C-alpha cells in the first residue's frame, strides 16, 4: 500500500519552532514537538509520543520503520507504518567524499551531512516527506558549527516536514533544539542516563535526590520528558520559547555554543529570507533576561538598521538629545519621559533613548516592534559589551546624519570626535531638579533664543514618514496626505479618501484598499503571486502560490497578484522561510479589489 502523509496543522509559530496538531485538525490525536519511542521505552500518552520506531540492522544498508500510534494520516481510518533505507553513512569529516548511496524513502527520508552536500534528489522532491531524520546528529553535535548548519538547511528547505535528530535530545535541551527547528525527540540519552544511575532532568544530568525518593529509573526519566515537552509546547504557544531555550542552554557549555552559533547563522540567513516579525500582536513581549538575548536576530537586525539605514525626521537632524530608557514601554507613557519632554520643550530636538540590548531607540520609532515590547532587568549598571554596542551605534549614526550638537542626558559617558557632547546629568539622577534644569539650558543654548520648535502637527507628520521609511523603505506614499486624530492613533487621508490608520498597539499601518495601487506603483510592499486557475476566496495557502518574496516577515502586509493584476492584500502569519511549502495557512486575507 502507498504510504500516506501525516496530517499536520500549525497552531503556533515561534521562529523555527512550530506547535503542530497531528491528525484530523478538527480533533487532533497528538501534537509536536513530541516523542518517538521504541519497544524498550516506557509507555507514553499518544498526545506526548505520536510515533514509534524500529531499526533493522540485519541488512546493509540498514532500514528504519516509523509507525503512527494513532490515526494520523488522512482519511484517519488506521495506523500507518513508513519505511526507509538508511543509506551509507560516512563520518562528517569525509564530506568531500560522495558515498553515492544515500538514505531514501517516501514519508521518512534519512539525511546526513554527506547527503546534504551531495544528494541532488533532495532538491527535486515534488512532495515534502512527513519526517526528515538527521541520522548522524550525534556526530554533528560534537563538531563545530555542523549541527546548526544542518538543521538550518533542513528547516528552510523542508518547511512542512517534521525533523528528528536522533540521539541528541533530552529534557535539558528540547526547548533549545525546538528553537533550532527540531520537532521529534527520542529517549536515547535518557536510557544512557538511567543505566549510569543519573537522572536527566530539565536542568541537566544530576544524581537522584534520595531524601525525596527520587531514582534514575526509566519511569522517572519519563516524568522529566513529559514536563519538558509540556513546557516547550507552552512556550511556543505564548511566544516565550527563546527565553526557555536561553535558560536551558546554561545546562552545558556545548548548549551555549549551539545557541550562539545558531544565532549567528540565523542573522546571516535573515539577509536572504524572512525569519523574524515586522509587527506583533498586542501583549507580546521580547524578554531579554540573559546575556544571550542580545544575539537574537530581532535585536541584531534593529541595531544594524538604526546604525546603517535609519533616517530621522528632516526637521530633527541638527540637535541630538540622548535620554535614558524607562521600564514602561513605549517610553512616552512613563512619568520620567513626560518630565524630560517638558524640559526639552523643542520639537526640533531629536530625542533618542539609550538602552540595552537595542542600543538606540529614536523617539519617532518607539511604538515599533521590538522597541515598544522588550523587557529587561533594570539595574542602572552597564557592562562593557553594552557600552561598546551603544558607542559604536552612536558614532555611526552621528557620522551619517551629521548632528551639530549632542546633549547627553542618558548617564552613559560618551565622546564623539569633533563634536562637543554636553553632559546634563553630571552623575546625578536623570529626574533630579538640577539635571532637568541643565537639560533645559542645554537645549535652549543649542537652538538659540526664540527658536521654540514647530507645531505638534509637523512632528506628527514627520513621525509617520519616519516609521514609513523604517518599515517600507520610503515615505513617498504619504506625499499630499493629511494626518489627523488624537495621539497616539492617527488617520491618514488623501483628497478626502482614507489611505491608512496608524495602530500604535501593534506598531503598524493598517492600510486601506485605496492605498494598495499606490503601494504597488511605488514598489513599497512585498508581493505574492497566486496561480491563474485559483479562485481566491479565502486566505493564502501553499497550493495557491506561483511566486513569492523570500524576505516576507510575520506581520507584513503583502500585495496579492494574479495574472499580473493586483487583486488585494493579505497579512503574513508565516515567515519567508516557510513559503511556499509551509504547512497550513501562510497569510490571512485583508482586502480584495
d(CA 593, CA 560): 10
Q: Which residues contact 515 (CB under 8 A, 6 or more apart)?
A: 477, 499, 500
Confidence of residue 88 (pLDDT cuts 50, 70, 90): confident
The domains of the chain, with CATH numbers, are: 8-86+102-269 (no CATH), 310-447 (3.40.50.10630), 455-515 (3.10.450.90), 525-593 (2.30.130.10)
Find cell 570626535 and name the residue.
Answer: 417
Distance CA 418, CA 575 (A): 43
CA 561/CA 586 separation, integer angstroms: 15
Using the predicted structure, report yes or no on whether residue 363 has a pLDDT greater than 50.
yes
pLDDT for the residue 303: 97
Cα separation values, 366 from 62, 153, 335, 400, Å: 57, 35, 16, 21
Q: Is residue 279 over pLDDT 80?
A: yes
Helix (H) or strand (E) holding 268: helix 253-269
Are residues 254 and 141 in contact, defined by beta-carbon separation less than 8 angstroms? Answer: yes
- The mean per-residue pLDDT over the stretch 334-362 comes to 95
The full length of the chain comes to 593
Percentage with pLDDT > 70 across the chain: 97
Over residues 497-556, the pLDDT tens digits come to 999 999 998 899 999 999 999 999 999 999 999 999 999 988 999 999 999 999 999 999
Q: Kindly report, residue by residue over 20-67, the tens digit of the pLDDT.
A: 999 999 999 999 999 999 999 999 999 999 999 999 888 888 899 999
221 vs 380: CA distance, rounded Å: 42
Q: What's this model's pTM, rounded to 2 decimal places?
A: 0.93
| Rounded CA Rg of the chain | 27
Residue 309: what pLDDT? 96
Q: How far apart are CA 271 and CA 392, in angstroms?
A: 21
CA atoms of 324 and 348, how far apart (whole Å): 19
Angle at 291 (CA atoms; ends 397, 374), nearest 5 degrees: 65
Share of the chain above pLDDT 90, in %: 81
Give pLDDT, residue 297. Answer: 94
- Residue 140: which residues within 8 A CB-CB, separation 6 or more? 92, 113, 134, 146, 147, 150
The whole-angstrom separation of Cα 350 and Cα 317 is 7
**What does the pLDDT read at residue 380?**
67
pLDDT at 451 over 70: no
Per-residue pLDDT tens digits for 464-506: 999 999 999 999 999 999 999 888 889 999 999 999 999 998 8
d(CA 365, CA 169) in angstroms, rounded, equals 41
Looking up cell 509520543 gives: 49
pLDDT in tens, 219-278: 999 999 999 999 999 999 999 999 999 999 998 999 999 999 999 999 999 988 989 899
What is the C-alpha to C-alpha distance for residues 232 and 159, in angstroms, rounded to an integer? Answer: 20
The mean per-residue pLDDT over the stretch 189-196 comes to 97
pLDDT at residue 329 is higher than 70? yes
Amino acid at each position: 500500500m502507498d504510504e500516506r502523509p501525516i496530517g499536520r496543522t500549525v497552531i503556533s509559530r515561534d521562529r523555527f519552532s512550530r506547535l503542530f496538531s497531528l491528525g484530523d485538525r478538527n480533533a487532533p490525536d497528538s501534537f509536536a514537538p513530541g516523542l518517538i519511542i521504541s519497544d524498550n521505552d516506557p509507555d507514553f500518552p499518544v498526545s506526548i509520543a505520536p510515533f514509534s520506531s524500529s531499526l533493522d540492522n540485519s541488512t546493509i544498508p540498514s532500514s528504519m520503520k516509523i509507525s503512527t500510534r494513532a490515526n494520523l494520516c488522512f482519511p484517519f481510518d488506521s495506523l500507518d507504518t513508513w519505511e526507509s533505507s538508511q543509506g551509507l553513512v560516512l563520518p562528517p569529516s569525509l564530506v568531500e567524499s560522495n558515498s553515492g548511496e544515500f538514505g531514501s524513502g517516501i514519508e521518512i527520508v534519512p539525511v546526513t551531512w554527506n547527503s546534504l552536500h551531495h544528494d541532488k534528489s533532495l532538491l527535486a522532491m515534488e512532495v515534502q516527506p512527513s519526517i526528515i531524520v538527521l541520522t548522524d546528529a550525534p556526530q554533528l553535535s560534537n563538531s563545530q558549527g555542523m549541527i546548526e548548519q544542518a538543521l538550518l538547511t533542513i528547516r528552510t528547505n523542508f518547511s512542512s516536514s517534521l525533523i528528528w535528530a536522533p540521539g541528541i535530545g533530552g529534557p535539558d535541551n528540547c526547548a533549545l533544539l525546538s528553537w533550532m527547528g527540531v520537532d521529534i525527540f527520542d529517549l536515547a540519552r535518557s536510557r544512557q542516563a538511567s543505566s549510569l544511575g543519573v537522572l536527566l532532568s530539565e536542568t541537566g544530568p544530576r544524581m537522584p535526590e534520595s531524601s525525596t525518593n527520587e531514582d534514575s529509573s526509566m519511569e522517572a526519566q519519563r516524568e522529566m520528558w513529559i514536563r519538558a515537552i509540556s513546557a516547550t509546547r507552552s512556550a511556543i504557544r505564548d511566544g516565550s520559547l527563546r527565553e526557555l531555550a536561553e535558560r536551558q542552554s546554561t545546562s552545558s557549555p556545548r548548549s551555549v555554543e549551539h545557541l550562539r552559533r545558531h544565532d549567528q547563522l540565523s542573522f546571516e540567513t535573515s539577509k536572504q529570507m524572512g525569519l523574524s516579525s515586522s509587527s506583533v500582536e498586542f501583549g507580546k513581549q521580547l524578554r531579554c533576561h540573559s546575556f544571550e538575548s542580545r544575539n537574537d536576530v530581532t535585536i541584531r537586525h534593529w541595531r544594524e538598521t538604526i546604525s546603517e539605514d535609519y533616517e530621522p525626521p528632516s526637521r530633527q537632524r541638527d540637535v541630538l538629545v540622548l535620554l535614558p530608557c524607562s521600564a514602561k514601554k513605549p517610553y512616552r507613557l512613563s512619568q520620567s519621559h513626560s518630565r524630560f519632554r517638558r524640559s526639552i520643550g523643542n520639537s526640533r530636538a531629536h530625542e533618542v533613548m539609550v538602552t540595552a540590548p537595542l542600543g538606540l531607540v529614536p523617539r519617532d520609532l518607539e511604538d515599533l516592534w521590538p522597541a515598544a515590547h522588550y523587557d529587561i532587568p533594570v539595574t542602572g549598571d552597564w557592562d562593557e559589551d553594552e557600552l561598546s554596542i551603544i558607542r559604536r551605534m552612536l558614532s555611526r549614526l552621528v557620522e551619517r546624519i551629521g548632528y551639530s550638537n549632542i546633549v547627553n542626558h542618558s548617564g552613559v559617558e560618551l565622546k564623539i570626535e569633533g563634536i562637543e557632547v554636553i553632559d546634563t546629568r553630571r552623575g546625578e539622577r536623570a529626574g533630579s531638579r538640577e539635571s532637568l534644569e541643565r537639560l533645559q539650558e542645554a537645549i535652549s543654548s543649542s537652538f538659540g533664543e526664540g527658536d521654540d520648535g514647530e507645531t505638534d502637527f509637523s512632528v506628527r507628520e514627520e513621525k509617520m514618514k519616519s516609521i514609513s521609511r523604517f518599515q517600507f523603505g520610503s515615505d513617498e506614499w504619504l506625499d499630499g496626505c493629511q494626518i489627523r486624530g488624537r495621539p497616539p492613533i492617527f488617520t491618514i487621508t488623501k483628497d478626502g479618501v482614507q489611505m491608512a490608520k496608524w495602530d500604535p498597539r501593534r506598531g503598524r499601518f493598517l492600510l486601506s484598499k485605496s492605498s494598495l495601487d499606490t503601494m504597488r506603483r511605488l514598489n513599497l510592499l512585498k508581493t505574492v503571486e497566486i496561480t491563474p486557475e485559483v479562485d481566491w476566496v479565502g486566505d493564502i495557502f501553499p497550493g495557491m502560490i506561483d511566486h513569492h518574496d523570500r524576505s516576507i516577515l510575520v506581520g507584513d502586509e503583502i500585495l496579492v497578484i494574479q495574472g499580473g493584476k493586483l487583486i488585494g492584500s493579505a497579512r503574513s502569519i508565516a515567515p519567508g522561510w516557510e513559503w511556499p511549502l509551509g504547512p497550513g495557512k501562510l497569510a490571512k486575507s485583508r482586502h480584495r479589489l
